[in-house]
Amino acid sequence: MNLLHHLYREIPQAIVDFVLEIHHFLGQLPAAELLAASLRSRNPGERAEALETLEQELPRAVYEGITAQLEGATSRRPSA
């Protein structure tokens, strides 16, 4: 059961990482790994800056898809 819970939480982040890498290779994003790390940060300011970069650099549909994945991952996090 713990494995399923872990996968359920990690799959959306893996999707986001994959999409960021693709757009990095296409030349649409700088430093995909840094952006991915910033999106996972506990610092709200760092996350906001990463989201702003994505919003400015990516096509609207891609940005909205990424934010939907991130919101889904956030809603599945266990409460502290």
pLDDT per residue as tens digits for the range 14-56: 889 999 999 999 999 988 999 999 999 999 999 999 999 999 9
The model's pTM is: 0.75
In a domain, 78, yes or no: no
What pLDDT is stored for residue 79 in this prediction?
Answer: 47
Structural domain boundaries, residue 33: 2-72
In a domain, 28, yes or no: yes
Q: Rounded to an integer, what distance in angstroms lies between the CA atom of residue 61 and that of residue 46?
A: 23
Environment class of residue 20 by beta-carbon count within 10 Å: exposed (0-12), middle (13-18) or buried (19+)?
Answer: buried
Q: How many domains does the chain have?
A: 1
In a domain, 77, yes or no: no
In a domain, 7, yes or no: yes
In a domain, 67, yes or no: yes
